[in-house]
Amino acid sequence: MPVENPTISFEFFPPKDELGEMQLWQAIDALHSINPDFVSVTYGAGGSTRDRTVRIACEIYERAGFRTIAHLTCVGSTREELKEILLHYKESGISDVLALRGDPVDGPTAPWTATVGGLDHAEQLVELASEVGDFTIGVAAFPDIHPASNGNFEQDIEVLLRKERAGATFAITQFVFDSQSYARLVETLKERGSALTIYPGIMPVTNHRQIKRMIELSGGHMPAKILEKFDRFQDDPESVKSLGIEVATQICEEVYLTGAEGFHFYTLNSATATAQVIGNLSMYAR
């Protein structure tokens, strides 16, 4: 059943240089009027952006005033280092974290090796965040099965339930391109007694090259009829952008009807496509 006033949230990533930082703040300024319920700041593969993630998350909270969810992963940090980061967030006023195992440097399907003195699973990071402070803790969810799960949907459900038992209260999914996959995930969790809020991840495709990479990274599935449409326009960038906005709008409308409590937009530090999708949505029509 549709909820009233579904939330809107945005994901940003830490820029690599001054130009990227300028583009990030331009996107934040452009999206400010939408008044998001929260924003999140990612953590690079292999823990590669740890310091930048901490700095940018704190700056967004201080300068923009948004509720900011800082991503934190098990990769590349010892337990004590993770504890120090959590304490820094707490002291900076950030009370929300997204606890992730994280991807190895070579990608989500590469062999996993825990950092010496570190943590091995996201649920351990959830437990640590619960111990360190009064954090609201989120985790990742995979509507189309985690890339390392070898097609085992039940295994993914059990992992989510363990994270919830450890202290997580919400999850953000990887890119949703099939609303039925999202609905299956939510319904299965409810049947198992879960109270997790599951926010669907929405990614407006803006160029054809993104598609294969997005599917590989997320373990996601794009229905053949949608993929065929994008392939038809692969040499027409403007048509790809228009179709990406149309598809993202349709996915939002569909998951909303299944009871999604909000939409989490993967912005890639750009405001244009996300703002257009939100402007199209019937539930926000004035």
> Residues near 102 by Cβ (< 8 Å), separated by ≥ 6?
43, 45, 46, 47, 73, 74, 75, 76
- What's the burial of 270, exposed, middle or buried (CB within 10 Å: 0-12/13-18/19+)? middle
Q: How far apart are CA 90 and CA 94, in angstroms?
A: 5
Residue 218 tokens, joined = 């997320």
Q: Per DSSP, which regions of 58-120 are E strands?
A: 68-73, 96-100
11 a catalytic residue: yes
Distance CA 136, CA 168 (A): 7
What number of other Cβ atoms are within 10 A of residue 90's Cβ?
Answer: 16
The two three-digit tokens of residue 10, written as one number: 């945005």
Segments in 114-194 forming alpha helices (H):
122-132, 153-166, 179-191
Catalytic residue among 4, 11, 18, 21: 11
The set of catalytic residues is: 11
